[in-house]
Amino acid sequence: MADTTAAKPTKSDVVFGVDLSRGFTEWLTSKNVSLALTTYQVGKLILFGVKEDGGLWTYNRTIGRCMGLAADETGFWVTSDTQLIRFETLLQTGQLGPDNVDALYAPRFSYFTGDLDAHDVVIQADGEPIFANTLFNCVSRPSRSHSFEAEWMPPFISKLVAEDRCHLNGIAKRDGHLRYATAVSRSDVFDGWRDHRQDGGIVLDTKSGEIICSGLSMPHSPRWHQGRLWLHNSGRGEFGYVNMETGVFVPVAFCPGYLRGLDFIDDNTAVVGLSLPRDNKTFLGLALDAALADKGILPKCGLYFVDLTTGAIIHSMEISGVVTELYDIVALRSIKKPALLGPTSTELKRTLSVPSLD
């Protein structure tokens, strides 16, 4: 007789699963923030918050190969495979939407860029976005008449050409303006960065053009916070900062995954994104593999919340199932339960925002 007992689902059977550290939702509520993250691997923008009963609130919509994400008080910018899209919340302060959400983000306009392999995006002091144009090895601003306008290019790049020579992926602002960028190498030939994944990574000062830190392994997500430039030494699974006096990267925490995405919950707490390394030439042979083996731990996909002083992991969110890679993360401040409308969703046709006549 056949065994008809239902098998307990394993993590590999779960379409999308989230395992939280104990007390996580209470802690997130106390910080008065929610979270947004991008996963270009499945083309989704995913929101996390807290429901009225204290449970985890999850909401997602399809954006298409979305990567860079940057938020301000009323909305955010996100890069996709062909567009740079601006989302704004349709709700006023104190207003609630369907399901009692306190932010309902909707696409308001976009720039059609074509596939520039756009990575990080930053909102400058004037409210306008700039982004890492990885295909053309430069930082760009959107254009009304072209795919982009070049804003800054590393001094070692000899010409503006679609060859992804150095894999310029990360940008950071300081005092409201572009100031730092990360690249996997200083190569000036087609796809040359792939030969320098182990220790060719650099951080550049975009104001002076100088390399202020080198010897990194596939660095990502530079962010200026509390007087320090924080970033990921992704190929080694290290989160830390650059000592501006010595030019040395100082690891603060080891995280068991390929690190991308970084924001700050408060002055002393970072949220970092972990991805499972892909089994291809980009990720194979990195020092991260040896570090995971030495520590006897498998790589994880999810979010770690790190104490900047001690490097301790305060909380974690492990993601399983179809989502195995993340790119960027932002903390949505003073928002507890966000939702959004996708650019191609049918609900967008029925959701209208009308300016007040008062």
Residue ranges covered by each domain of the chain: 18-344
Q: How far apart are CA 72 and CA 127, in angstroms?
A: 9
The amino acid occupying position 189 is V
Strand segments (E) across 175-328: 177-183, 201-205, 211-216, 219-225, 228-233, 238-243, 248-254, 258-266, 269-275, 302-307, 313-321
Give me the pLDDT at residue 357, please: 63
In Å, how far are 40, 191, 337, 355 from 327, measured between CA atoms? 7, 21, 22, 35
Tokens of 110: 């976009």
Q: Do 308 and 15 contact (CB within 8 A), yes or no?
A: no
Q: How far apart are CA 167 and CA 116, in angstroms?
A: 12
Q: What is the pTM of this model?
A: 0.92
Q: Which of 95, 102, 77, 27 is nearest to 335 (CA)?
A: 102
Q: How far apart are CA 255 and CA 329, in angstroms?
A: 16
- pLDDT digits (tens), the chain, 358 positions: 333 333 344 444 568 999 999 999 999 999 999 999 999 999 999 999 999 999 999 999 999 999 999 999 999 999 999 999 999 999 988 899 999 999 999 999 999 999 999 999 999 999 999 999 999 999 999 999 999 999 999 999 999 999 999 999 999 999 999 999 999 999 999 999 999 999 999 999 999 999 999 999 999 999 999 999 999 999 999 999 999 999 999 999 999 999 999 999 999 999 999 999 876 667 777 999 999 999 999 999 999 999 999 999 999 999 999 999 999 999 999 999 999 999 888 888 778 887 876 6
End-to-end CA distance of the chain: give it in Å, rounded. Answer: 74
Domain 18-344: CATH superfamily is TolB, C-terminal domain (2.120.10.30)
Give me the pLDDT at residue 281, please: 65
Give me the pLDDT at residue 308, please: 98
Give me the pLDDT at residue 13, please: 54
In Å, how far are 151, 159, 298 from 38, measured between CA atoms? 25, 31, 22
Q: How far apart are CA 313 and CA 308, in angstroms?
A: 9
Give me the pLDDT at residue 3, please: 33
